[in-house]
Structure 1
Amino acid sequence: MSLVSLDSISKSVLLADDSRLEILRGISLDVDAGDHVSIVGRSGSGKSTLLNILGMLDAPTEGSVSFEGTPVRKMSSGRLDRLRGANVGFVFQQFNLLAGRTAIDNVMMPLSHASGRLFWKRRELAADMLERVGLGHRIDQIADRLSGGEQQRVAIARALVRNPMLILADEPTGALDIDTGASVMELLDEVATQTGAALVTITHDLHVAARARRHYRLEAGRLAPVDLSRAFEASTLAAGVPSEATA
């Protein structure tokens, strides 16, 4: 049984002139526990919309979403909120941190409605996760006073602190330098491997995408498997750098 399954998903929005903008068209995708999937595509291709549907933040116009075999549309809003909060960790491109609150406050936030050990140990767990992303010395800094790269790492720590079953990362290295970005992706891989979580990464960076085991391209609203070796060659040639085959 798949952890999360999309069946013939389409998404459209109604524009001011009463026409419809088709964002996603007939997408089917199964993500299993332990999967690492990457989805590449141009800006505006609908990658973030697809991620929000995978994470049950948004509903498709057509098609169905299932989590561990249960159709999401049959769940009450309260049950869906609880399921998402306990099992899905989001790394948003815009960070979505709580302004005026410290780094550790932000990372503790997903644990504020937990029970048992997760609740009573929430500060310790949050501090440990901030240490793992290299911000152990910044736990009491106000989040909006951190650099963009530091804010991204706080967002990643917040997504991972509950050891979710499904990790959804939207351009997780977009605000980071190359070395920090590589260490962050290693952390995401490490946590997913240790906990058996599925990791879905939305990115335009082929090097980030290549870390996954399954690769897809989203184009014109349609999702299809992609051969990253060919994508790398195409991007290399476009940049005017000879590939090994042409050098």
Structure 2
Amino acid sequence: MSLLRLEAVTRSVELPDAPPLEILKGVDLEVAVGDHVSVVGRSGSGKTTLLNLLGLLDTPTSGQIVFDERPVSQLGSRARDRARGSDIGFIFQQFNLLPGRTALENVMTPLLYATGRQFWRRRQLAGEMLERVGLGERMLSMPEKLSGGEQQRVAIARALVRGPRLILADEPTGALDIDTGASIMALVDEVAEQSGAALITITHDANVAALARRHYRLDKGVLTAVDVTRVLAMAAPEVSL
């Protein structure tokens, strides 16, 4: 079952006294429920622009994005906000935790915009998610008292607490050492699989990208499917992207 589909999507920016700058060029991508897809590309390849489109934060210049079998162009800004808040979880490289708030309060934050049982059970749900990522004993700790790996686990718990159907991981291990990054990605994949969520990992790290089940390369705005052997070859320093 298709959850998200991009059809011939382009994104360009108008420049004064110059032709438009083409950032994405005819991108086609289909992500099914429970899928794990990686997109690897260098800085400047269009990864951030693609992430904004996948997360319903932006709209394409041309082409079509279909989320849950409904064209996003048919959704108003409020409907996109609701879909993003309830169905999409974001995991960022820099964690983006709220200073002066405990780990529990950080994870509770998305539930302040929930309704019904999720809102009234927000403290319980946040605590259960922190337990799930191995931070049950650190719930009342402030972000500055947590290690980088622990902060990323809080960020993961915050992204997953509303039970999103799509998880977007943007350079999720970029601020971590290799061993911690590997354990973090294993955790994200495990939680996504258990919940049946689709996971899209956008990264410049070919080793992280190789952990997915389907792999893509983004180069100068062009998205191309590649096999895992090609992804791992990208990690070799002598091989140019």
TM-score by length of 2: 0.90
Describe the SS at the equivalent of 1:14: strand
Partner Cα distance (2:128, 2:106) in 1: 13
Q: 1:224 to 1:113 in 2, by over 3 A?
A: same
- Kindly report which structure 2 residues correspond to 1:173-212, keeping only aligned pairs within 5 A, or say none: 173-212=173-212
- How far 1:45 moved relative to its partner? 0.9
Determine the structure 2 residue equivalent to 1:166. 166
TM-score by length of 1: 0.88
Partner Cα distance (2:187, 2:19) in 1: 44
For this pair of structures, how many residues does the alignment match? Answer: 239
Partner Cα distance (1:55, 1:41) in 2: 18
Partner Cα distance (1:76, 1:129) in 2: 31
**Alpha-carbon deviations, 1:201-222, whole Å to 9, x = none?**
0112222111111100000100
Q: 1:237 to 1:88 in 2, by over 3 A?
A: closer
- How far 1:89 moved relative to its partner? 0.6
Partner Cα distance (2:234, 2:59) in 1: 35
* Contact kept in structure 1, 2:44 and 2:220, CA below 8 Å: no
* Contact kept in structure 2, 1:9 and 1:60, CA below 8 Å: yes
Comparing 12-21 and 199-208, the one that deviates more: 12-21
- Kindly report which structure 2 residues correspond to 1:109-148, keeping only aligned pairs within 5 A, or say none: 109-143=109-143, 146-148=146-148
- How far 1:29 moved relative to its partner? 0.7
Describe the SS at the equivalent of 2:236: helix
Q: 1:224 to 1:109 in 2, by over 3 A?
A: same
* Contact kept in structure 2, 1:152 and 1:175, CA below 8 Å: no
- Kindly report which structure 2 residues correspond to 1:5-154, keeping only aligned pairs within 5 A, or say none: 5-15=5-15, 17-143=17-143, 146-154=146-154
Determine the structure 2 residue equivalent to 1:244. none
- How far 1:147 moved relative to its partner? 4.3
**Alpha-carbon deviations, 1:14-36, whole Å to 9, x = none?**
33555422111110111110111
- How far 1:234 moved relative to its partner? 5.4
* Contact kept in structure 2, 1:166 and 1:198, CA below 8 Å: yes
Specify every segment of 5 or more residues in structure 2 that has no aligned partner in the other structure, as ranges: none
- How far 1:51 moved relative to its partner? 1.4
The aligned amino acid for 2:74 is K
Q: 1:38 to 1:76 in 2, by over 3 A?
A: same
- How far 1:94 moved relative to its partner? 3.3
Comparing 69-78 and 133-142, the one that deviates more: 133-142
Q: 1:185 to 1:197 in 2, by over 3 A?
A: same
* Contact kept in structure 1, 2:2 and 2:32, CA below 8 Å: yes
Specify every segment of 5 or more residues in structure 1 that has no aligned partner in the other structure, as ranges: 240-247
The aligned amino acid for 2:121 is K
- How far 1:182 moved relative to its partner? 2.0
- How far 1:59 moved relative to its partner? 1.1
The alignment's C-alpha RMSD in Å is 2.0
Determine the structure 2 residue equivalent to 1:230. 230
Partner Cα distance (2:87, 2:145) in 1: 30
* Contact kept in structure 2, 1:133 and 1:184, CA below 8 Å: no
Give the % identical residues. Answer: 63
Partner Cα distance (1:162, 1:94) in 2: 21
Determine the structure 2 residue equivalent to 1:4. 4
Comparing 128-137 and 230-239, the one that deviates more: 230-239
Q: 1:151 to 1:17 in 2, by over 3 A?
A: farther
* Contact kept in structure 2, 1:206 and 1:228, CA below 8 Å: no
